[in-house]
């Protein structure tokens, strides 16, 4: 069973225990998940919604239920000994990760394109932090993690402007996680992470230069190049890859 400990800390929290019994066998194992005693509903193993952190704690409690159910099946079918049962229950649970939050909750009210963009943000952070497993909220809250991300990203060829963009998008995710109760402290970006950058000077081409260029065309490749350039210019923001999406209408 899942039971709340009778002991309450000075912060008004009690730990949740795995209470194992079978015949004369009895063992209580601390899950290291602590709940506010005044808002925990033991009969349904949930925290009341009035608690500001009810979302994150209830996710952890749900994972404890899944672990309990798996333990019961394996022990009752005699697949595990008492020692194996205890080792499994003492191994703890994998807390709700940043990956899961972005995939299953953060993107609920976002467009498909925007949601995929933020999923990619997490992938980029994991790539430059060299993290293979799911990334935890606590890792991102550590300022050293962001410093490591910036250093590795720049070494790997990412521009400072891109670093700024990814970190700012991460802040949007973490602020949402704070409002949803997954983290208990606000996400703060160290001052050394974001840097101002001077954009590259854009070259301006005059119409006279285009006319002169047309007069100097010597082969079909040059003619096609300048034709494509004029098409993109007239379509305002079109890229070469967009050509396949255009269709000729009429004669």
The whole-number pLDDT of residue 153 equals: 95
The whole-number pLDDT of residue 68 equals: 93
Cα gap 8→6, rounded to integer Å = 6
Q: Which residues pair with 30 in a beta bridge?
A: 17
CA Rg value for the chain: 28
Cα gap 72→245, rounded to integer Å = 58
Instruction: Kindly give the confidence (pLDDT) of every residue in the chain, 251 residues in length, as a single tens digit, with 9 standing for 90 and above.
Output: 999 999 988 888 899 999 999 989 999 999 888 898 889 999 999 999 888 778 778 888 998 999 999 999 999 998 999 999 999 999 877 777 899 889 888 888 888 888 999 999 999 999 999 999 888 887 888 888 999 999 999 999 999 999 999 999 999 999 998 887 777 778 899 888 988 766 677 788 888 888 888 999 999 999 988 888 888 888 877 777 777 777 778 76
The whole-number pLDDT of residue 199 equals: 66
Q: What are the CA-CA distances from residue 239 to residues 206, 207, 232, 242 (Å)?
A: 20, 20, 6, 5
Q: What is the SS3 assignment for the chain?
A: CEEECCCCCCCCEEEEEEEEEECCEEEEEEEEEEEECCCEECCCCEECCCCCCHHHHHHHHHHHHHHHHHHHHHHHCCCCCHHHHHHHHHCCCCCCCHHHHHHHHHCCCCCHHHHHHHHHHHHHHHHHHCCCCCCCHHHHHCHHHHHHHHHHHHHCCCCHHHHHHHHHHHHHHHHHHHHCCCCCCCCCCCCCCCCCCCCCCCCCCCHHHHHHHHHCCCCHHHHHHHHHHHHHHHHCCCCHHHHHHCCCCCC
Cα gap 98→136, rounded to integer Å = 5
User: Which strand ranges, in their side-by-side order, compose the sheet holding 13-22?
Assistant: 2-4, 13-22, 25-36
Residues in the chain: 251
The whole-number pLDDT of residue 133 equals: 87
* pTM > 0.85: no
* Chain segment 46-91, per-residue pLDDT in tens: 999 888 778 778 888 998 999 999 999 999 998 999 999 999 999 8
For 69, phi then psi, to 5°, come to: -60, -40
């Amino acid at each position: 069973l899942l039971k709340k400990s009778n002991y309450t800390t000075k912060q008004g929290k009690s730990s949740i225990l795995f209470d194992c019994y079978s015949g004369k066998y009895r063992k209580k194992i601390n899950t290291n998940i602590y709940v506010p005693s005044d808002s925990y509903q033991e009969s349904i193993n949930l925290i009341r919604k009035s608690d500001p952190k009810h979302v994150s704690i209830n996710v952890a409690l749900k994972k404890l239920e899944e672990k309990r159910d798996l333990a019961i099946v394996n022990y009752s079918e005699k697949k595990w000994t008492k020692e194996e049962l205890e080792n499994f229950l003492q191994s703890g649970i994998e807390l709700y990760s940043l990956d899961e939050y972005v995939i299953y909750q953060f993107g609920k009210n976002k467009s498909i394109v925007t949601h995929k963009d933020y999923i990619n943000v997490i992938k980029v952070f994991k790539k430059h932090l060299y993290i293979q497993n799911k990334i935890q909220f606590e890792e991102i809250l550590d300022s050293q993690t962001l410093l490591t991300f910036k250093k590795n990203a720049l070494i790997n060829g990412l521009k400072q402007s891109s670093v700024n963009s990814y970190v700012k998008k991460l802040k949007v995710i973490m602020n949402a996680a704070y409002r949803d109760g997954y983290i208990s402290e606000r996400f703060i970006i160290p001052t050394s992470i974001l840097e101002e950058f001077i954009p590259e000077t854009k070259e301006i081409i005059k119409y006279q230069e285009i006319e002169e260029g047309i007069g100097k065309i010597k082969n079909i490749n040059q003619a096609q190049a300048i034709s494509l350039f004029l098409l993109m210019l007239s379509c305002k923001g079109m890229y070469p890859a967009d050509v396949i999406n255009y269709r000729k209408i009429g004669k």
